Structure 1
Amino acid sequence: MADEESRWPALVPSASLSLGHAQEQVLAEQTTADIVALLLDIPDMREATARSIVLHYISEHVRAPVLLPDLPQPRYYLYHLVLACREIPDGLQLLVRAIEFVAGPTAAVAHLKRMLSPVRAHLEPVVETQIEDLLSGLRIPSLTRLYVAATGNGIATVPFRLTDAWDAFSALLDHNTAPGKPSPHLIFVAMLLQTMQTRQTSGSAGTEEAWRLKRLRDWLARQTEQLRGAGDVAQADYLDRMRDRSGVLSTRADKPIYLIIQLEPLPDLVEDEVVFRLSHWRQIHPLEWRPEPGEDEVVTMSSVRERVGALIHEAEHGWAYELDDSLVLEFVLPLDMINLDVDRWTRDALEMPDPPPLGAEYEILVRSQERLRAFGFHRAWRQRWQVLVDAVDGLTYWAAPGEPAHPRPMGDRLLSRREIVACVLSGPPDREPGRSELWKALRAGVPVVLWHRADRPAPEMREAVRQVVDRPDIRTLPTDIRRLRGNAPSDDHNGGSALELTLLWDDPNHFLDDSSALRAPASRM
């Protein structure tokens, strides 16, 4: 235990290792050599042009020329620059602003800002060193989203490209704390622990990550204990709940981001063409389902594909650009439109040569608008979804092509077997018997339904689907279907994929706002 304590003093209860934000302790003053070493970690500061701009920036702000010897060696020049800034009131903070102007919000600049920050320290230097050892090199999916969630602000607050967990943690050390909440760096660790625990449960974490998980839990337990000792019981309880909760996004080890698109027919006609309300949401929180609504639009059927492509383009070039996670597309459709071939749409402009279909780029999930609003169906739906998540007893029901248009036996079988979590229709649901089969599956709470849109799918395509759906664990089915679409041969008639397949993947935890418009939607016609 002695060796362990000497290596990890952050885990040892000691009055000298308490949380700095509850004290009035200021970071120890850095020596000139220390600051020069930090500056040399910034590539721009090794360039003469960048150094001259920094010098001019400082001179302009103090309204007097700052005279330095013309030394070509960066280390010597920066040493004299730091000495000069120490003679100027708030000169080191001015130096930081000048360097951030030149070099931008990089990780090295963030480190410099933190080390020269006049604000009180959150952690003792020795504790910060130990947590740095645990977080440096720890690269997990959704890191940027964990950072954003810890700050409680938008994606625009990400200061630089985060390469590992230490980048995120260190940037959060100087972030503002919301009233009544723990410090953002502690919230980040709590969410990080939940993510790492999910990865370990799913078998995605290696031995080293499991070791870090244990050490981080010990570290956070020590911080919450210190919070309670300082009288911040509510903040400590908040961290405990966040660390130990089982998130609603635990179905899969990765944490994709979502663009949810809903189409709802409207009674009006425009130039004899049916119009729709197009609603959309984005889902970026890494641990909770919190879809953020966008502006509604009114579109005609002929313009729906173009508008959906524009929404995906806006995501890829905007809010999803900074995130490294997979983008999943969910289409919430009424039963009359549920057979749309949305996986064959594209986000590229019409003039682009050979545009790839959405089903080759993204996981495409169709959802039932009617079931989402029919609360009387939700209890059975949630029960079957839990069977799917447990991945032990799940069964798939294959509707027989010869069954009558209103197959009572199918409905009875679905209602009597709670292990059935998926159903493959005998035909498309825009006609019988597929229409009745789909409704009986939805009515029974079956969360996953598949069907071939072609009347007579090729035997090899039907067999390929059987191999990925006929098993107890179908949690990876959306990824499997995307892979099948990419590997399927081309259809000789239309040049597209021979796999004309729709996947209805309906997670009962993925609720949306009330779909009725709260404002007049903007027209895009």
Structure 2
Amino acid sequence: MKQGHPGPGIAVRKAVVDVLVLAGFADDKSIRTLMVSELREALDHPFTFSDQLAGRDQLIEIVSACCRLSEGPDVLADVIEFLRPDSEESAEVRALVSSVRIHDVVPEAEQEKLRERLAGFSPPGLGRAVRRAARYVSPPPRYDDAAAAFSGLADFNAGPGELPPLLIFVESIAAECDDDFAAELRTWSDGQARRLRLGDALRQLRTELAAVRPRPGELHLLIAVRPDPIENDLYELSCWRQDDPDDWPPARGEIALVRESELEDHVDALIADAEQAWSEAAADVVIEFVLPRALLNLPVHSWATERASGAPKPLYLSYQTVVRSLERMTSPRWHRVWRQRWESWVGNPSFERVYFCRSGDDGDRLQLEAILSDEQWAMAVLTESPPVSAISGQDELLPALRTGVPVIVWHPTASSEVVREVVAWLAESGSGLGDLPALVRESRLDVLRNPPSSGDGGTLTDLVVLWDDPSRLLPIGETGVAGHPEGGAGRRDRAS
């Protein structure tokens, strides 16, 4: 086994250790012993460690020893996969160590030239660019200037098919440079993308960076609920809290395994924590629930907050609330048409873009999908609440998701005729359908303020708005419509 290999930088090694700590390796001596035994056999290396070390310290020694060996990082990922097959931690470790480092493909002289140009450059978005580039590391590293970030991020790995973090950083700060320097940085990025054959990934990144950001002063709290792949009525609950309107994606918060009956209580606690973090902010907040199909009909907008006060209040009293599709977010094969349709909707969110589903649309299982494939339609109103699972020829939700329709609305009890009247009334009110989540919230408040004057007779209170903005994706992983999320067993092992 060759030694003296420079290996991943300290930031990547720290990230690997953090993943293993979160997975319970620091607390379980037996799993560390088994890991070391497998590493010794695979790498023909003694791997001697002091039993006096704390669990995390021992993991640091194990990971660092692996990283000093040429094949060590890949073998470490293999061993974690062997110990915890198909788990989230094995996927995260693989992503951190699997790809070639940027140092191996970019000549050092070329890096030094660009590093000199970046010396002393500290644009306002430096921290945001580092967070975007160091997406697997939490908390993200801090650097004094762009040159220091350039040097540090060169040691970070990327997953298979992903752009190196260094390239992502350079692209992110190019937007804050003068035109000549920005052109120089982008020319450098083009060259690296050609070396790595990642031209498509670079074009996608540039599209994301150019996407319209949330309006100033607006923060988002995304709460994702994923079904456990084995145990019914068990869900993985996690959140991404945005503390900076220009920062996306923010770091992922803690993960909890909860029953469906416990979701409302946990969401209340997440919002309380978020409000504490936002106590010095002056910003509007949007709460987005990323839900699996089976839970899309949960009345999350009316879930209670401040329950411990003895006088709880519904979410919509304080926040814009929308739902989003977990299946679509975790199905990259649907993302291209979704992005296209969203961009056209942002440019023209008119009532003429709304398709109202009809009972006859399901006569043929592909009829509705063919209808919604017309780029005219960017919002769909379902005739009824979607069933918990797709039924061939009797489903309105799946065709809307697959054709990229970003805004989908339905009501759990009202007739389609009533919902049509409500949508038409909303389109004529205030800023119209382009700001539907805010408009729905304001209309719900109007129902409380003055019920007799409400234009919808109270129907708006329970209207469900699926508002799916593809510029706010989360690193949840790929599941597909019928699949289950990875990592359920691993998470349960950690909770037990």
The TM-score bracket by the shorter chain reads: 0.5 to 0.7
Letter in structure 2 aligned against 1:501: L
Q: Name 1:177's counterpart in structure 2.
A: 145
Q: Distance in 1 between matches of 2:174 and 2:447?
A: 39
**Shift of residue 279 of structure 1?**
1.7
Is 1:516 matched with 2:477?
no
Question: Which residue number in structure 1 is paired with residue 256 of structure 2?
Answer: 297
Contact 1:398 1:425 in 2 (8 A): yes
The one-letter amino acid of 2:227's match is: P
1:327 matched to which residue of 2? 285
Q: Please report how far the alpha carbon of residue 313 of structure 1 lies from its aligned counterpart in structure 2 after TM superposition.
A: 0.3
Q: What residue number does 2:356 align with? A: 398
Return the letter of the residue paired with 1:487.
Answer: D
Partners of 2:129 and 2:447 in 1: how far apart? Answer: 42
Distance in 2 (CA, whole Å) between partners of 1:287 and 1:359 is 24
RMSD of aligned alpha carbons: 4.8
Q: Which has the larger radius of gyration?
A: 1
Contact (CA 8 Å) 2:357, 2:381: kept in 1 or not?
Answer: yes
The Cα shift of 1:463 comes to 2.6
Aligned to 1:342: 300
> Which digits, 9 at most, give the CA deviation of each residue in 1:292-314, with x for residues without a partner?
11121101122110001100000
Whether the 8 Å CA contact 1:425–1:450 is kept in 2: the answer is: yes
Correspondence 1:216-235 to 2 at 5 A: none
Which of 334, 358, 362 is the equivalent residue of 2:315? 358
Tell me the alpha carbon deviations over residues 203-240 of structure 1, each in whole angstroms, 9 at most, x when there is no partner. xxxxxxxxxxxxxx9xx859x88x99xxxx769999xx
Give, in angstroms, the shift of residue 333 of structure 1. 0.8
Residue 464 of structure 1, CA deviation = 3.2
Shift of 1:332: 0.9
CA 1:463–1:451: 2 relative to 1, 3 Å = same
The amino acid across from 1:310 in the alignment is: A
User: Where does residue 56 of structure 1 map in the other structure?
Assistant: none
Task: Report if aligned partners of 1:365, 1:505 keep a CA contact under 8 Å in 2.
Answer: yes
Write the distance in 1 (CA, Å) between the matches of 2:209 and 2:292. Answer: 29
**Residues in 1 aligned to 2:209 and 2:269: alpha-carbon distance in whole angstroms:** 31
Write the distance in 1 (CA, Å) between the matches of 2:349 and 2:491. 47
Q: Quick check: 392-401 or 377-386, which moved more?
A: 392-401
Q: How many residues align?
A: 319
Shift of 1:278: 0.8
Q: Read off the aligned partner of 1:304 and give its amino acid letter.
A: L
CA offset digits 1:349-401 (Å, max 9, x no partner): 15522x22112211112111111222222221111111012227760001125
The equivalent of 2:461 in structure 1 is: 499
Q: Which whole-Å CA distance do the structure 1 matches of 2:410 and 2:259 have between them?
A: 27
2:339 to 359, 364, 382: 382
Contact 2:422 2:460 in 1 (8 A): no
Is 1:280–2:251 an aligned residue pair? no
Output the CA distance in 1 between the equivalents of 2:448 and 2:400. 30
Give, as a single letter, the amino acid of the residue that structure 2 aligns with 1:260.
L
Paired residues of 1:468 and 1:474 also in contact (CA < 8 A): yes
* SS, match of residue 426 in structure 1: coil
Distance of 2:394 and 2:224 partners within structure 1: 20
* Contact 2:412/2:463 (8 A) holds in 1: yes
CA distance in 1, matches of 2:240, 2:215: 22
Shift of 1:342: 0.2
Name the counterpart of 1:64.
none
- Secondary structure in structure 2 of the residue aligned to 1:474: helix
Distance in 1 (alpha carbons) for counterparts of 2:438 and 2:361: 31
In structure 2, what is the Cα distance between the partners aligned to 1:268 and 1:259? 28
What displacement does 1:331 show?
0.8
The whole-number CA distance in structure 1 between the counterparts of 2:248 and 2:432 is 23
TM-score for the superposition, normalised by structure 2: 0.52
The 3-state SS of whatever aligns with 1:299 is strand
Structure-2 residue corresponding to 1:428? 385
Residue 147 of structure 2 aligns to a residue in which SS? coil
Contact 1:295 1:521 in 2 (8 A): no
Partner Cα distance (1:371, 1:452) in 2: 21
Aligned match for 1:260, one of 205, 209, 222: 222
Aligned CA distance change for structure 1 residues 235 and 324 (closer, same or farther; 3 Å) = farther
Secondary structure at 1:436 match in 2: coil
Report if aligned partners of 2:219, 2:284 keep a CA contact under 8 Å in 1: yes
> Aligned equivalents of 2:428 and 2:442: distance in 1?
17
* 470 and 423 in structure 1: CA distance in 2 versus 1, 3 angstrom threshold: farther
Give the CA deviation at 1:250.
1.5
Change (3 A) 1:249 1:479: farther
In 2: Cα distance, 1:351 partner to 1:420 partner = 45
Distance 1:410 1:178, change over 3 A: closer
CA contact (8 A) 1:252 1:475 kept: no
Cα distance, 1:324–1:295 mapped onto 2, change above 3 Å = same
Q: Which stretch shows the higher mean deviation, 259-268 or 397-406?
A: 397-406
Task: Tell me: CA distance 1:329–1:293, structure 2 relative to 1, closer, same or farther (3 Å).
Answer: same
Output the amino acid matched with 2:331: A
Once the two structures are TM-superposed, the CA of residue 267 in structure 1 deviates from its matched residue by 4.7
Query: Greater RCO between the two (CA within 8 Å, min separation 6)?
Result: 2
Mapped contact 2:410–2:463 kept (Cα < 8 A): yes
Map residues 199-238 of structure 1 onto 2, 5 A cutoff: none
Q: For residues 521 and 427 of structure 1, do their structure 2 counterparts lie closer, same or farther at Cα, with a shift above 3 Å needed?
A: same
**TM (normalized to structure 1)?**
0.50
State whether structure 2 residue 326 is matched by structure 1 residue 369.
yes
Call closer, same or farther: CA 1:426–1:405 in 2, change over 3 Å.
Answer: farther
> Does the residue aligned with 1:465 lie in a helix, a strand or coil?
helix
State the alpha-carbon separation in 2 of the partners of residues 504 and 481 from structure 1.
12
Residue 412 of structure 1: aligned partner: 370
Whether the 8 Å contact between 2:208 and 2:471 is mirrored in structure 1 is: no
Secondary structure of the residue that 2:313 maps to in structure 1? coil
Name the aligned partner's letter for residue 363 of structure 1.
Q
3-state SS, counterpart of residue 487 of structure 1: helix
SS in 2 for 1:293: coil
Please give the alpha-carbon distance, in whole angstroms, between the structure 2 residues aligned to 1:373 and 1:234: 32
Deviation string 1:268-309 (CA, Å, 9 cap, x unpaired) is 55xxx7221112112344335323111211011221100011
State the 1:316 CA deviation.
0.2
Counterpart CA distance in 2 for 1:423 and 1:457 is 12
- For 1:370 and 1:422, the matched residues in 2 are separated by 18
SS of structure 1 residue aligned to 2:433: coil
What amino acid maps onto 2:426 in structure 1?
A: V
Once residues 352 and 407 of structure 1 are traced to their aligned partners in structure 2, the CA distance between those partners, rounded to angstroms, is 49
- Where 1:365 maps in the other structure, the secondary structure is strand
**Aligned residues of 1:277 and 1:521 also touching (Cα < 8 A):** no
Q: 1:479-516 CA deviation, whole Å, 9 max, x = no partner?
A: 11111221125999xxx986211110111222211263
CA distance in 1, matches of 2:253, 2:309: 28
Deviation at 1:473, TM superposition (A): 6.7
Change (3 A) 1:401 1:251: farther
Q: In 2, Cα distance between the equivalents of 1:313 and 1:249?
A: 30
